[in-house]
Structure 1
Amino acid sequence: MDKPKGFGFPRSPEVASAPVDGEALPEPETLGEDAELDLSADEAAARVEETLTALDSELIGLASVKRRVREIASLLQVDRARHQFGLTASRPTLHMSFTGGPGTGKTTVALRMATILHALGYIRAPRVHTVTRDDLVGQFIGHTAPKTKEAIARAAGGVLFIDEAYYLFRPENERDYGQEVIEILLTEMENERGDLVVIFAGYPDRMATFFSANPGLSSRVPHHIEFDDFTHEELVQIADLMVASENFRFDEQAREVFSEYLTLRMQRPRFSNARSVRNAIERCRLRQARRLVGLHRPLGKQDLVTLTAEDVYGSSLFAENQS
């Protein structure tokens, strides 16, 4: 079966740093005063719509996020059209803030946003380079600036995605070098508007504190997108997609038990939305493998693809649940 490409959880930095397929489009031709432009017929617009459609299929829920991404894409398409008619205006500022809990799709959306920006000519490459504090802040005097500039150079022409950005700001430590990173970013974000888009990401409350303490940074980030936690129903749908993408399936009882497991897991600390769902499914696969090896009989295809309730909870917990 065909594998869905994403489920609304952040990829690893290695994946996020990989270029997205796509050739650069030529500059659009300049149009005359009486010309008319069909946006739907534009090759760049077609690529954008294809990307937006992929985002809809990749992410369960997140309606407000998808709506905001479409609004930004529309703004840039119209700006591109105005440019073709020779209408001058300031280039849109594209730096962004993504706020939400872990596993809510922030990196997935960043990857798709890079594709949109590249298709419309706002960045040179559909690439996302993901960093954290450790990639930017040095351990001694004179170490931070080179590290930060190296990260910016690697992201040049694409998107620099700073995960858990609030860790750059540690006011309780006067000797912390994170403030130096912020000052370098401020300069680069202003000077390299046509060459680099910066996306700051993290938990909503901490990001609010981060921006309020750095008004110069806040003024350079016009697009703030909030990623809500997934509902229980959405997480069950995400689980179904993940299982299908790996050529497995829940039997009827297993799906019911997995739904019950999610209800309990969502109430526990450090729940990470779709990331926790993926981890739970990985544990189901481990238990299934142990169960199948223990059968000591020939296995058929249905044995190999089916996840049972015992695989969800484990044999001892499942037996206790049935008693």
Structure 2
Amino acid sequence: MKATDIRASFAGYLGLQVLALLVLLAGLHFGASHPWSSLLASGNLFRLVLILAMGAIGTYIALKLSAVIDARNAVRAGSTVRPIQIAADEEDDPDQQDPVQACLDRLDRMTGLQAVKDEVRAVVARIQVEQRRAEAGLSVTAMSQHMVFSGSPGVGKTEVARILGDIFKALKLVRKGHVVEVDRAALVAGYVGQTAIKTQEKCKEALDGVLFIDEAYTLASDAQGGQGFGQESIDTLLKFMEDNRSRIVVIAAGYPREMELFIHSNPGLASRFTKQLHFTNYSEDELLDILASMAASQQFTLPQGYKDLVRPWLDSRVNDRSWANAREMRTLLERAREEQALRIASSPNASLTEISDADITAALERSRAYA
């Protein structure tokens, strides 16, 4: 029974009691055999008070009961899980960009790396065609998405891995698409029995996403005859990849020659890492563009002649094995900002965004000293 029904029933009951009272009073007042003086003696007053008391008690109980029912209904209404209503324009927005294309646009905005961009587009095209074949009921071939990224430091390997994670998520190859970045120190422990546990923890963290192993070749550096902590990590990694082949993508990265030796150091690695993307070093013009892009993203402007100032330094450094490409540009910009800060700290009217020729020159001198 609802609270409103209870209130209506007792309101009607109370109304009947009031009506009965009025009829009784009228009869007492106008009846010849029951004058007002005989009301008390006849006992009618007692019956009248009893009727009023019962009506008041009934009304009180009805109101209390209806209040309890209202409160209980309010709690139930508040705890009811209501379905989320999705607007039609949110569910199917024609202006919303395809998530795969959005990732490819991010890739295209990266400086250089044309060969890598072409390889990524080929991977995407192959996956999309295989998915269409599956939808059409045609046979499909299981494809390994594990990859090797070979190249020097600072050529965008980590950023491309992140874009690939988002692409795989958009294509529903993995559920999350997040990237877990590790190196040897994150996988290998210092004593027997703990490396497998450490490696497995990182693999589980990367489940439904991408495990990016930087300088992966260092895992094989102590794998003499199948021994060593690095080999224990490799064995654990291979087993996890096999047990969770549809839930994890592993990308192993490092210098080209070292990665070639690493992949062929173990038959299990060679059979699983079947795709290799090579990242070439940036050209001088590309590095100068990267420097300008970094400065713009940090709301700084470089002097017009910055290319002429930086190019001789690039000529002397780009062929060093320790050359770190875009990382070197980031370090150079940080040093130029420090020189700018020293120059304008005592000049309240100086520009906060302009980096001068003197700032670039001083930063280059410091870079040569640290080389």
TM class by shorter chain equals 0.7 to 0.9
Alpha-carbon distance, 1:251 to partner: 1.3
Residue in structure 2 matched with residue 308 of structure 1 by the alignment: 356
- Number of aligned residue pairs: give it: 273
Is the contact made by 2:189 and 2:195 (CA closer than 8 Å) also made in structure 1?
Answer: yes
Counterpart in the other structure of 2:349: 299
TM-score relative to the length of structure 1: 0.79
Moved more, 158-167 or 133-142: 133-142
In structure 1, what is the equivalent of residue 296 of structure 2? 244
- Aligned: 1:80 with 2:131: yes
Q: Flag the 1:316–1:207 CA change in 2: closer, same or farther, 3 A.
A: closer
CA contact (8 A) 1:99 1:204 kept: yes
CA distance in 2, matches of 1:316, 1:55: 30
Asked if the contact 1:123–1:195 (Cα under 8 Å) also holds between the matched residues in 2, the reply is yes
Q: What is the SS of the residue equivalent to 1:160?
A: strand
Q: SS of 1:135's equivalent?
A: helix
Q: Compute the TM-score of the two structures, normalised by the length of structure 2.
A: 0.69
8 Å contact kept, 1:254–1:307: no
Pair 1:185 & 2:237 matched: yes
Q: CA deviation digits over 1:254-302, x for unaligned, max 9?
A: 3421233333332555210001110000000000000112xx43325xx
**Partners of 1:221 and 1:317 in 2: CA distance:** 43
User: Does residue 234 of the first structure (1) align with residue 286 of the second (2)?
Assistant: yes
- Displacement, 1:231? 0.5
- Work out whether residues 132 and 164 of structure 1, in 8 Å CA contact, stay in contact via their aligned partners in 2: yes
CA–CA separation in structure 2 for the residues paired with 1:43 and 1:106: 31
CA RMSD of aligned residues (A): 2.3
Structure 1, gaps ≥5 residues long? 1-40, 319-323
- Change in 2 beyond 3 A, CA 1:246/1:76: same
Counterpart for residue 121 of structure 2: 70
* Structure 1 segment 35-46 matched on structure 2, within 5 A: 46=98
- Name the structure 1 match of 2:306: 254
Give unpaired runs (5+ residues) of structure 2: 1-92, 367-371
Aligned in 2, Cα 1:104/1:297: closer, same or farther, shift over 3 Å?
closer
SS at 1:250 equivalent = coil
| Cα distance change, pair 287–88 in 1 and its aligned pair in 2 (3 A) | same
Deviations 1:149-174 (A, max 9, x none): 10000000000001000000124756
Where do 1:200-211 residues align within 5 Å? 200-211=252-263
Give the alignment partner of residue 48 of structure 1, picking from 95, 100, 103. Answer: 100
Q: 1:82: how far off? A: 1.4
Retained in 2: the 8 A contact 1:253–1:308? no
| Counterpart for residue 67 of structure 2 | none
- Contact 2:301–2:354 (CA under 8 A) maintained in structure 1: yes
Contact 1:96 1:198 in 2 (8 A): yes
- More helix as a share of residues: 2
CA 202–269 in structure 1, closer or farther in 2 if over 3 Å, else same = closer
Cα offset for 1:253? 2.8
The structure with the larger Rg is 2
Secondary structure, aligned partner of 1:161: strand
Distance in structure 1 (CA, Å) of the matches to 2:333 and 2:363: 16
Pair 217,43 (structure 1): closer, same or farther in 2 beyond 3 Å: farther
Matches of residues 7-26 of structure 1 in structure 2 within 5 Å? none
Residue 122 (structure 1) aligns with: 173
Identical-pair percentage: 36
Alignment partner of 1:212 is 2:260: no
Aligned residue number for residue 274 of structure 2: 222
- 1:29 aligns to what? none
- Matched residue type, 1:176: G
Distance 1:122 1:145, change over 3 A: same
The equivalences for 1:87-98 within 5 A come to 87-98=138-149
Q: 1:144 to 1:44 in 2, by over 3 A?
A: farther
> 1:285 pairs with 337, 341, 363, which one?
337
| Cα distance in structure 1, aligned partners of 2:194 and 2:290 | 42
Runs of 4+ in 1 over 3 A off after TM superposition: 41-45, 171-175, 315-318
Deviation at 1:124, TM superposition (A): 0.9
